[in-house]
Amino acid sequence: MYEFRRLVKHKSVERVHDPVIVVRGLDANFGDIIRVEMGKEMRTGKVIAIEEDLYFVEIFEGTAGLNTSAIVSSTYEPITLPVSELMLGRVFNGIGEPKDDKSKLYSNKGWDVNGLILNPYFRDVPHEMIETGITSLDLLNTLVKGQKLATFASPGLDVLSLQMQILKQSITNSKGRFAVVFAGIGLSKDEEHFILSTIEEAQVADMSVLFLNSAKDPAMEALLTPRMALTAAEYLAHHIGLDVLVIMGDMLNYSNVLRNMASQKGELTVREGYPSYLFTDLASLYERCGTRRGKPGSITQLPFLTMPNDDITHPVPDTTGYISEGQIILTRTVAHAGVHPPIDILNSLSRMMHFAVSDKQAKLSNRVYHVYAEGKKFQDIAAMMGMDVLDEEAKLFVSLKEEIDELLLSQGANENRTLKQSMRIASQIVEKAPSI
Amino acid sequence: MGYLTAIKGILVKAKGIDAKLYDLVAIGEDGFGEVIAIVGDTYFIQVFTDVTGLSVGQRVEGLGMPLSLELGPHLTGHFFDGLGVSLEEEPFYHPTIRAETSYTFDFQPTVKKGQKVGKGAIIGTVSVKEGKQELSIPIIAPPTVGGVVEELYPGNHAIRGEPIAVISGTNVELSHHWPVRQPRPFKSRVWISQPLITGQRVVDTFVPIAKGGTLAIPGGFGCGKTVFQHTFAKYSDADKKVFVGCGERGNEMADFIESMRKRGKLHEVVVIANTSNMPLIAREGSIYSGVTVAEYLRDIGYSVLMMADSLSRWAEAIREVGGVMGILPAEEGYPPYLQERMQEFYSRAGCVKTFSDKKACLTISTSVSPPSGDFSEPVTQYASSLVDTTIFLSTELAYSKMYPAVDLELSFSKHRAQFANFWESTLKGTSKSIDDLLTLIHKGFDVEKMERIVGADALSDEQKVILHIFRFIRFNYLIQNAFDPKDVYTTPLKMAYIVSSIHSYYTYLTNMLKKGGKPKFQKDVEDRISKMRYADEASCKKLYDEVKGMLGYV
Ligand SMILES: Nc1ncnc2c1ncn2[C@@H]1O[C@H](COP(=O)(O)OP(=O)(O)OP(=O)(O)O)[C@@H](O)[C@H]1O
Ligand SMILES: [Mg+2]
């Protein structure tokens, strides 16, 4: 019974569906990567189920153009990424193949892209901030090493420039042993170009690794892109000891590919057609962050996703919110008010922040929030009933809120503010507020 | 020997094995799973380990027992995965089953040779060091073993493989196995009578939890379920706490153990962690492991609080298995038997008389994570219909950072009336104050809605008083900052002082109205009451006396 599996090398396809083909008597394990040859064309797939001698192979490139004459063989391996320190400075596509003009990465270490499970007992509580140079984050919603903090954005906002600004500045502000892994999912040609030129200009290529999945790539590759990026991050963090920030997006694209695949495969779907395992799938990505007690190296994640119709209760942002350690909200309303980056601070929260900031910063941040919320409250009243209904104190709050918008929350796409600078600006504004 | 015939992710099929329903099976090199259905000669097995790399034809072998835990004195202060395997060894997690044998304890019998003991009775103690403290942990015989004590072996023993006593021909060890899906027996049920004091003001006074009762906390993401559960674990007056991190975050677990360690309270907890990236099926098992450990601690005489964060992730694991098994789903993809499973689980809470004639209670507290914060979804609905206390958390309050974001309009405890005596014995008159203020709070919601429509000026004087006191309660009593060391815990006596003070103030204002006057809000009274939650008990009493004096109650 045990030996038959090593006997059959190649076998023909019995049935072709989309995106799965069924092969009888293949020699393969569950999860193996499968090569499919059809004339001169090579495709890649993965064993997703085995039933007696029937093997169900999901084809990454899709099954259009295949028929039962295809020849199938197994690599006897799950999906791996060759890892090495030489990944730094490189640009890959979504499945880890070089996209720059440099050669293929040779490494004798292939790491399973499904990643490592960091044992919670060996985790350190995240307690050190990453300075992104962006006030709305650093001062008010601090990104903490080892955490995951999701960013939800209204459709159509330019999140890519914010992503690039964070990438550049966090590298510049770090004191060595820091790298950014970027995973772009479903990018356009223009976006790819923008990413590459920004990184080159800022001279931060050495400390970054890019995984760029283009909108034109086979759908399945979108599902592999974050796994590749996180595997690279795990190697750099847990093997080399770097602090790694992983920026990924758009996770809505990712989730939609997952949804389409699930419905094609006839799997159990729940809210709005997303598969019942959406939470587990996203968590298997986002949980791949953290720091180890007593060891150097950490992974911090900043996933970005679009909120369809600005609806935070849509299954994808909602599920993400249940996994992420807080959320940063970017809205069109804030953008229209002229604030850039358009972070809606009142609805944003970094749950790990209190572990990482000084008492002084915590107090100042609370004070800014308080003044801002008061100002916003009176601004809303004035919008309905006119400025005249406000007393002097209320008017003061409104003008301070406007100052916060203009001087504190707005900053240029190349403006890298230190935490000290942010704190100084903030203090100067809230000092003018009546004490509570 | 059996072999695999099909692999479908979390579910595999095998033939030719010798196993019964719910038996554990070993799969391939180091995998294992549990038989969940048998059809003809085919065994359906849910797999606890990684299925990647498995192939048909691989070895499958029945292990001759259901999923069980090693229950013994080694549990408290330690950290296990969803199936009870220690997590304190390898930094990167790889699921296995492994017997824990490395722990040893010094056994001191409390029974004599020749004595007759009942099944599951206490037969001795071991002592463990926790910092400077020396703690004694009772040792019980398994619930299936009783009779005449024939031999006793005091002294140092490993928890497994070394007898500490022989009772009616059976070797008894420091630990014993128990199948997690089977509730542990006890002598008899006992009435629930005491509140679990959590130190959370809104909970203890308005939606109390009973020792031995059940609690569900439904709330959208970020509403404060985990913060609540952590505060319960840190401050509630149960002797032991079993925390099950079920499909949630690793960083939260790290924070939890770190803060228990810092407080020197690690010996009060058992942590079971099955974070969302650990195997899905073990997530399903983790809830049963948790409640089994909790029952064991109850059986040795402790008052126990078991927390599950979040029960929804457990329900989702059940849904996944149902989906792969092709079970026709009922609501939102959940299999029709979900509600029954939930009921079986919650019914493991309660107060009992143990085999050693001690009264001990097991309280169960569960988080529920409704998709989109929509309380009409099945898990929320089933949970709130099954438990004694439901604390609904409001997304709106959480977004305005009014924590704890308890929605008092929806939340309900069926034990509230029962605890009137408790409050009367804490401070006379408090139970009426609580009743009156809860009524006022409910009126407050209505008046607040009305205010939004007609504006503040159009409210009657009575409504103005209601709204004023309602908001005063909200900002000075209901909100409670879990990160402020002074605010995070309030003693029942302090709660009674504050509630009574607010009640007196409210009565004072209504009396003013009754006499036909205009309500005059008293800033100096309000100032004093607002300081009470930060004051120690003595200063709180002083403020209370002052308030009473100012309102003419002396
Ligand atoms: N009592 C409280 N005091 C102060 N802050 C609180 C309190 N409760 C909740 N918070 C704030 O809300 C955040 C989210 O709370 P928590 O992690 O408990 O949410 P949750 O309901 O468990 O969410 P999820 O479903 O995503 O796990 C906390 O990090 C904290 O900032
Ligand atoms: Mg939580």
pLDDT at residue B481, rounded to an integer:
95
Residue B302 placed within a domain: yes
- Any A CB within 8 A of B8 CB: yes
B528 and B391 in a common domain: no
Any atom of ligand 1 within 6 Å of the Cβ of A351? yes
pLDDT at residue A436, rounded to an integer:
62
* Three-state secondary-structure class, residue B300: coil
Any atom of ligand 1 within 6 Å of the Cβ of B227? yes
Q: Crossing angle for the helix pair B461-473 and B492-514, nearest 10 degrees? A: 170
Candidate CATH numbers 1.10.3470, 2.40.10, 2.40.160, 1.10.357; the one for domain A13-74:
2.40.10
B417 secondary structure, DSSP code: G
Any atom of ligand 1 within 6 Å of the Cβ of B217? no
B526 and B392 in a common domain: no
**Contact residues, chain A, for B13 at CB < 8 Å:** 51
A99 secondary structure, DSSP code: -
Q: Whose Cα sits closest to atom 9 in ligand 1? A: B224
Ligand nearest to the CA of B369: 1
Ligand nearest to the CA of B489: 1
Nearest by CB to B254, which of A123, A319, A327? Answer: A123
* Residue B246 and residue B283 in contact, taking contact as beta carbons nearer than 8 Å: yes
Contact B251 A325 (CB under 8 A): yes
**Minimum CA–CA partner of A288 in chain B:** B277
Range of the domain at B132: 101-179
Residue B299 placed within a domain: yes
Selected residue with higher pLDDT from B490 and A78: B490
User: Can you tell me which atom of ligand 1 is nearest the CA of B480?
Assistant: 1
B263 and B361 in a common domain: yes
B196 and B113 in a common domain: no
B217 and B323 in a common domain: yes
A267-287 pLDDT tens trace: 889 999 999 999 999 999 999
* Assigned CATH class of A80-356: alpha beta
A387-416 pLDDT tens trace: 888 889 999 999 999 999 999 999 999 999
Our mutation pick for probing the ligand 1 site, out of B198, B203, B223, counting the most ligand atoms within 8 A of Cβ, is B223
Please give, rounded to a whole number of angstroms, the shortest distance from the CA of A34 to a CA of chain B. 13
pLDDT at residue A101, rounded to an integer:
83
Going from the Cα of B228 to the center of ligand 1, the distance in angstroms, rounded, reads 8
B130 and B259 in a common domain: no
User: Can you tell me which atom of ligand 1 is nearest the CA of B479?
Assistant: 1
Nearest by CB to A349, which of B92, B222, B250? Answer: B222
* Residue B144 and residue B135 in contact, taking contact as beta carbons nearer than 8 Å: no
B320 and B251 in a common domain: yes
| Cα B214 to Cα B383: distance, rounded to the nearest angstrom | 10
| Cα A145 to Cα A222: distance, rounded to the nearest angstrom | 26
Domain boundaries, chain A: 13-74, 80-356, 360-430
Residues in B 68-127 with any Cβ partner in A closer than 8 A: 79, 87-88, 90-94
B271 and B202 in a common domain: yes
**Contact residues, chain B, for A29 at CB < 8 Å:** 52-55
Distances, alpha carbon A349 to alpha carbons A245, A366, B401, in Å = 19, 12, 10
Q: How far is Cα of residue B554 from the mean position of the Cα atoms in its chain?
A: 43
**Mean pLDDT score, A242-249:** 96
Contact A287 B258 (CB under 8 A): no
Q: Whose Cα sits closest to atom 6 in ligand 1? A: B403
Any atom of ligand 1 within 6 Å of the Cβ of A366? no
B365 and B219 in a common domain: yes
Contact B320 A280 (CB under 8 A): yes
Residue A111 has pLDDT above 60, yes or no: yes
Residue B84 placed within a domain: no
Best residue of A5, A50, A269, A278 to probe chain B, by most B CBs closer than 10 Å = A50
**Contact residues, chain B, for A349 at CB < 8 Å:** 222
pLDDT at residue B133, rounded to an integer:
80
Mean pLDDT of chain A: 92
pTM of the predicted model as reported, rounded to 2 decimal places: 0.95
Q: Each residue's pLDDT tens digit in chain B (554 positions)? A: 899 999 998 899 999 999 999 999 999 988 999 999 999 999 999 999 888 889 999 999 999 999 999 999 999 999 999 989 999 988 999 888 776 667 899 999 999 999 999 999 999 999 988 777 888 999 999 999 999 999 999 999 999 989 999 999 999 999 999 999 999 999 999 999 999 999 999 999 999 999 999 999 999 999 999 999 999 999 999 999 999 999 999 999 999 999 999 988 999 999 999 999 998 888 999 999 999 999 999 999 999 999 999 999 999 999 999 988 888 999 999 999 999 999 999 999 999 999 999 999 999 999 999 999 999 999 999 999 999 999 999 999 998 889 999 999 999 999 999 999 999 999 999 999 999 999 999 999 999 999 888 878 889 999 999 999 999 999 999 999 999 999 999 999 999 999 999 999 999 999 999 998 888 999 999 999 999 999 999 999 999 999 999 998 75
Contact A118 B250 (CB under 8 A): yes
B327 and B231 in a common domain: yes
- pLDDT band at residue A319 under the 50/70/90 scheme: very high
* Residue A268 and residue B333 in contact, taking contact as beta carbons nearer than 8 Å: yes
Residue B386 placed within a domain: yes
| Cα B251 to Cα A291: distance, rounded to the nearest angstrom | 9
Nearest by CB to B275, which of A30, A120, A352? Answer: A120
Ligand nearest to the CA of B478: 1
Q: Whose Cα sits closest to atom 16 in ligand 1? A: B224
B372 and B315 in a common domain: yes
Closest CA relative to residue B148, chosen from B174, B118, B177, B107: B118
Residue B79 placed within a domain: no
Complex ipTM tops 0.90: yes
Q: Whose Cα sits closest to atom 28 in ligand 1? A: A351
- Burial pattern B507-523, b for ≥16 Cβ within 10 A else e, equals ebbbeeeeeeeebeebe
Nearest by CB to B7, which of A49, A321, A355? Answer: A49
CATH of the domain at B41: 2.40.30.20
Phi, psi (rounded to 5 degrees) for B44: -95, 125
CA-derived radius of gyration, chain B: 27
Residue B263 placed within a domain: yes
pLDDT at residue A18, rounded to an integer:
81
CATH of the domain at B509: 1.10.1140.10
Closest CA relative to residue B46, chosen from B277, B284, B379, B308: B284
Best residue of B1, B4, B56, B452 to probe chain A, by most A CBs closer than 10 Å = B56
Closest CA relative to residue B552, chosen from B519, B516, B522, B518: B522
Any atom of ligand 1 within 6 Å of the Cβ of B404? yes
CATH of the domain at B143: 2.40.50.100
**Minimum CA–CA partner of B326 in chain A:** A268
pLDDT at residue B401, rounded to an integer:
87
Residue B461 placed within a domain: yes
Number of domains in chain B: 4
Residue B73 placed within a domain: no
Phi, psi (rounded to 5 degrees) for B25: -130, 150
pLDDT at residue B101, rounded to an integer:
65
**Contact residues, chain B, for A292 at CB < 8 Å:** 91
What topology does CATH give the domain A360-430? 1.10.1140
Six-digit token string for B5: 């015939």
Q: Whose Cα sits closest to atom 15 in ligand 1? A: B224
Given B23, B49, B66, which residue is the final one in a domain? B66
Selected residue with higher pLDDT from B380 and A105: B380
B476 secondary structure, DSSP code: I
pLDDT at residue A1, rounded to an integer:
30
B358 and B300 in a common domain: yes
Least confident range from A64-78, A86-100, A287-301: namely: A64-78
Any atom of ligand 1 within 6 Å of the Cβ of B330? no
**Mean pLDDT score, A130-136:** 97
Given B354, B386, B415, which residue is the final one in a domain? B415
